[in-house]
Each structure stands twice: as structure tokens, then as C-alpha cells.
Amino acid sequence: MALLIEYVSERAIGDVKEEEARCMDVVNIAFGHVEDGRVVWNHPECKEGLSRLRSIHPGMKILLSIGGWSAGGFSEIAFTKEGREQFAKDSLALVEEYGLDGIDIDWEYPGIAAAGIGADKADKENFTLLLKTLREAFENKQSGRYMLTIAAGGDSYYVRNTQMDEAVKYLDYVQIMTYDLRGGFQTLTGHHTSLYANQFDLFDACTDKAVKVYMEAGVPADKIVIGGAFYSRKWEQAPDVDHGLCQMAQTVGGYGKEYGELVENYINKNGFVRYWDDEAKAPWLFDGSTFISYDDEQSLGCKIDYLKEKGLAGIMCWEYIGDTTHTLTAFMRKELDRA
């Protein structure tokens, strides 16, 4: 059965609705960090919320995700054997202190310093060694098995700077961030979390391409998780041509409103019209000037049909708190369970 995985920030751990907690197979807590050569996450106030989730859904797996955009320290700590061993020791201590099921690593990205973090050509090999060290530490500690997963970039730049055929040996699955596929670096409007690429788009990053890239790099289908977005990307001052799709805007695609606010104030409201790209299997909003890309039930349903067809491990979403309508999680669970 394919997995439903959601990222939940520490501030929202205690607020996960009971009916939605029952839908989730895995919760990734966002985020722990690497600071001064140590892995840190000091949130004792979350213990009550974690205990509540366990009582609601005893079969749920809860992982601590370490990293995030602009979260550095990985390149430095992975550079030496001693650093990697310290990472594993600290991670294991946090898993045991909070009663977790494992660690999710969200290093954005090995070998790439675009987020203002340290990077080195040696990250390619050191990332694999870091995962190997962590897996060995987990297996030496208990008779059972802690989980180890990663969140990985959604295009070929990530596999060029990693050894995915080797790294995947130490992982339960690879969560491909098939969102933010465009936006902060581009003025050309388009879908940031589409299933397929539109033939008229100058950029072809999409979920299907990412899956193919990772499989070609040695990651088996049953270890691939694709991503859904509970938030949007928006471009402003886009030409009113083709309802704003694939047009040169006057801004890059910044972080937009979360799904709950889109439903309340934007989708077919206040001048915004919802359009559907049947080729990309993705919706967008346009008011004559502002272009907004996002996921909704229709696009998430297409992604779930796709992952079933391809035999993928599941779908994960960033992030739980974005859906204040409390509809998407239950919808995805229903679609995943549908024969």
C-alpha cells in the first residue's frame, strides 16, 4: 500500500486533527538543524503532541527531518569521519529522547551553495558516507530498525551531485520534492508542482521527469515518493496572454498563499479564475496580471493515479499547516486506498 507522508512543523504537532492523523502513514517533523558540528532539536514541548499522535494512530511512523532550505552545516559535518559519526550519534540520541522512528535528511543540496550554505565537490561522496554511517549506527543500536529517508531536489541537478545508486542502499525511500520546480529563480510563469510538462513551456521540470531521472540514477520505483504542495507560487505583472501561462512576468515566482487561503479568497474569487492544464495535469489562477500555481484535489488525484501506475512508494506533502480547509489529507487517503 502506498504511503501518505506529511511534513508537520513543531508548532503544529499538537494541532493535527484526529481524523487526519489517522490518514497519515508517516509524519516528518520540520526541522532539526546542524549547528556548530552538532545535530540539534530542542523541543520538549512537542512530547505531549507526539504522544497524542501515537495514541490516535499507533501504526504511524514519526521522523525528525533535519535541514530545510538555507539550513547549512551538512557539508562541514559530512566532510570527516568524526563529523559523520557525531551526526549519527546526535541523531540517534534525538530519536531515543523523543521516541521517534527515524531520521529524514533534507540537505538542500549536496554540492550546491545556492541557498547560502557551505558546499564542496566532495559532498557527492560524503553524502553517501553520511547515510551509511547513520544507517550503521541505527542498526547497531536496536534489534528492530529505525527509518532513514531523505528529501531530494526535483530535477537532474540533484542526481548529478549525489551517488543515488549507492545512497539508496541505506534509505527506506527517497522523497522527491516535486514542488518548487520553478519560481524563485524564474520570471517565466508556469506550474511549480505539475505532473507533466506543458509542450509550450521553456522549462520541462515536472514530476514525471523527476521520477525518470531518479530511476535512471539507480533508485527503484518502490523507493520513490513524489511530492504535493499545500501552498502556491505566484508571479506578478504577467501579460494577459493565454491566461498568463508561460509568460514573462515582471517578478520571479515568489512563495504564494497557502491552500486554505487560496480556497477562501482566490479560487474563482476576487477576480481570480481557476484554469486547468490538461497536459500538465495542474491548475492555475489568473486575474489578468497575477499568476498563481498550486496543487488541489484534481492535481493530487492525478499524482496518486500516476504513482499507483508506476508502482511508487507514495506521496508526501509540504506542509500540513497549509491546508486549513482540512480536505486534502482525507482526499489523498481515500484516493490511495481506492482499488
Compute CA 125 distance to the chain's CA centroid, rounded to the nearest angstrom.
23
State the average pLDDT over residues 54-78. Answer: 98
Whether residue 19 lies in the annotated active site: no
What pLDDT does 143 receive?
A: 55
What band does 339 get if pLDDT is binned at 50, 70 and 90?
confident
Residues 6+ apart with CB under 8 A from 312: 2, 211, 221, 222, 224, 225, 226, 306
Any residues with CB less than 8 A from the CB of 134 and at least 6 apart, and which? 84, 87, 88, 91, 103, 105, 148, 170
The predicted pLDDT at position 144 comes to 65
**What was the pLDDT predicted at 142?**
63
State the average pLDDT for the chain. 97
pLDDT at 141: 72
From 6, 10, 20, 108, the catalytic residue = 108
C-alpha to C-alpha distance for 156 and 159, rounded to whole angstroms: 5
pLDDT, one tens digit per residue, over 282-300 is 999 999 999 999 999 999 9
Number of Cβ within a 10 Å radius of residue 208: 19
Query: Global pTM?
Result: 0.98
Q: Which amino acid is at 107?
A: W
Q: Widest CA span of the chain, in angstroms?
A: 61
Q: How far apart are CA 5 and CA 22, in angstroms?
A: 12
Confidence of residue 253 (pLDDT cuts 50, 70, 90): very high
Question: What tens digit of pLDDT does each residue of 257-276 get?
Answer: 999 999 999 999 999 999 99
* pLDDT band with cut points at 50, 70 and 90 for residue 140: confident
Q: What is the pLDDT of residue 99?
A: 95
What is the chain's length? 339
**Cβ atoms of 182 and 190 closer than 8 Å:** yes
> pLDDT tens across 305-325, in order?
999 999 999 999 999 999 999
Instruction: In whole angstroms, give the CA distance from residue 140 to residue 90.
Output: 15
Helix or strand or coil: residue 30? strand
Percent helix, strand, coil in the chain, to 5, is 35, 25, 40
| Percent of the chain at pLDDT exceeding 70 | 99
**Residue among 120, 117, 118 at smallest CA distance from 129:** 120
